[in-house]
């Protein structure tokens, strides 16, 4: 199974992209949120991949974050929700909007997604309400670990790097900043470590 791809972005079309990995072009279906976050053609990209195997072939689905991939995998575990419908959900309700709709039990919001009726919306809420917070927590912990590892690789001691990351995360939360992405955390943590505002 293909779990991730790193390569040059060859083309962007409606709903899918092609990534060149050492001369092989992989066609990857992506949600509109991922499409908007991708760079221009010719630039290297990295995507988390879900490989979907069917009798008539293999299809790749790509995501810019591990959390988005986990939400997708959880969604396709719901009875009656296939990969295409799960992709519609992530395209129509990007970021935390989907998780919010599930936590608020907002079936009307979910029903606005093409292909989802009231029954499917109710089933998604029932099956995912307890699972999604756990996914968000695991993803947050993974980002903290990655940020810590990056700072240690830059030569900082683990203890001081850990303190800087925790300060950066709290500061971002208090100020409404970016404390969920590794880039945002590293930027703020480095400010703490170097003493630059």
Least confident window among 53-57, 96-100, 121-125, 178-182: 178-182
Q: What is the pTM of this model?
A: 0.66
Using CA atoms of 147, 148, 151, 155 in order, give the dihedral in degrees to the nearest 10. -160
**Token pair recorded at residue 8:** 């040059």
Q: 40 to each of 4, 60, 104, 120, 181, how far by Cα in Å?
A: 20, 21, 37, 36, 21
Q: 114 to each of 76, 86, 186, how far by Cα in Å?
A: 16, 10, 37
When the pLDDT of each residue in the chain is averaged and rounded to a whole number, the result is 83
User: What does the pLDDT look like over 87-143, one tens digit per residue?
Assistant: 999 888 876 788 888 888 889 988 988 888 889 899 888 888 777 755 555 455 666
- Asked if residue 81 has pLDDT above 80, the reply is yes
Pair 88, 113: CB distance under 8 Å: yes
Higher pLDDT residue, 84 or 172? 84
Task: Please list, in sequence order, all residues whose beta carbon lies within 8 angstroms of the beta carbon of residue 13, skipping any fewer than 6 positions away.
Answer: none
How confident is the model at residue 179, as a pLDDT? 47
**Banded model confidence at residue 181, pLDDT cuts 50, 70, 90:** low
Pair 164, 193: CB distance under 8 Å: yes
């Amino acid at each position: 199974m293909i779990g991730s791809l790193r390569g040059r972005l060859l083309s962007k079309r409606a709903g899918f992209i092609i990534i060149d990995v050492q001369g092989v072009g992989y066609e990857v279906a992506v949600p509109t949120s991922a499409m908007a976050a991708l760079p221009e053609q010719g630039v290297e990209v990295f995507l988390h991949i879900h490989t979907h195997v069917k009798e008539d072939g293999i299809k790749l689905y790509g995501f810019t974050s591990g959390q988005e991939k986990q939400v997708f995998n959880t969604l396709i575990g719901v009875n009656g929700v296939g990969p295409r419908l799960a992709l519609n959900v992530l395209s129509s309700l990007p970021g935390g909007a989907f998780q919010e709709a599930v936590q608020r039990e907002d079936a009307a919001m979910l029903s606005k997604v093409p292909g989802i009726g009231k029954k499917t919306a109710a089933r998604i809420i029932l099956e995912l309400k307890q699972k999604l917070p756990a996914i968000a927590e695991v993803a947050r912990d993974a980002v903290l670990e990655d940020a810590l590892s990056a700072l240690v690789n830059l030569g900082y001691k683990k203890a001081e790097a850990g303190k800087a990351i925790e300060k950066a995360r709290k500061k971002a939360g208090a100020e409404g900043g970016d404390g969920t992405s590794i880039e945002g955390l590293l930027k703020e943590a480095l400010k703490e470590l170097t003493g630059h505002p």
